[in-house]
Amino acid sequence: MHSKGRSSRRSYPVWDYHWAPKHLVDRASAGLARWVQVIGSIATNVDRYINACDYDLEGSVIGHTILQYACNGAHTKALRMKFSTMTERELRFAFQKLDSKTELPLVDAGKCRHELDWLYGINLSRLLTESALRQGRGYATLSTGRVQGPTLGFVVEREEEISCFVPVPFWTIEATIVHDDKIYSLEYEKDKITSKAEAKSVCDECKDVPLDVKAIESREIQQYPPYPFNLSSLQSEAYRHFGYSPARTLASAERLYLDALISYPRTSSQKLPPDIGYAEILGGIASYTAYQPLVAKLMTRAYLRPNNGPTNDPAHPAIFPTGESPKQPLSGGEAKLYDLISRRFMATFADSSLKTSSRMILTHNNHRFFLSGSRVIKMGWIEYYRPYTLDDARPLPDFRIGDRAKIQGIKTVEKFTQPPHRYNPSSLLKKMEDANIGTKATRAGIIDLLYARGYVREERMRASDLADKVTDTLSTYCPLIIDSSFTANLENLMQDIQNGTASRRGVLVEA
Q: Quick one: which of 427, 432, 422, 419 has its CA closest to 484?
A: 432
Listed in order, strand segments (DSSP E) in 381-477 are 404-416, 456-457, 462-463
**Omega before 397 within 30 of 0, i.e. cis:** no
- First vs last C-alpha separation in the chain: 18
Q: Which of 120, 227, 239, 264 is catalytic?
A: 264
Q: Quick one: which of 510, 508, 507 has its CA closest to 493?
A: 507
Question: Can you spell out the DSSP letters for 159-187?
Answer: HHHHHH----EEEEEEEEEEETTEEEEEE
Residue 486: CB atoms within 10 A of its CB come to 16
The alpha carbon torsion through 94, 96, 97, 102 (nearest 10 deg) reads 90
Question: Is 264 part of the annotated catalytic residue set?
Answer: yes
Residue 220: CB atoms within 10 A of its CB come to 10
Residue 138: CB atoms within 10 A of its CB come to 7
Burial of 147 (0-12, 13-18, 19+ CB in 10 A): buried
Report d(CA 287, CA 295) in Å as an integer: 10
What residues contact residue 305 under an 8 Å CB cut-off, 6+ apart? 349
Report d(CA 348, CA 257) in Å as an integer: 20
Regarding beta strands 50-51 and 79-80, do their DSSP bridges make them parallel or antiparallel, or are they unpaired? parallel
CA-angle at 313, arms to 445 and 224, nearest 5°:
100
Report d(CA 429, CA 443) in Å as an integer: 6
Burial of 48 (0-12, 13-18, 19+ CB in 10 A): exposed
Specify the 3-state DSSP secondary structure of 72: coil
Main-chain dihedrals φ then ψ at residue 262, nearest 5 degrees: -135, 170
Residues carrying an active site annotation: 264
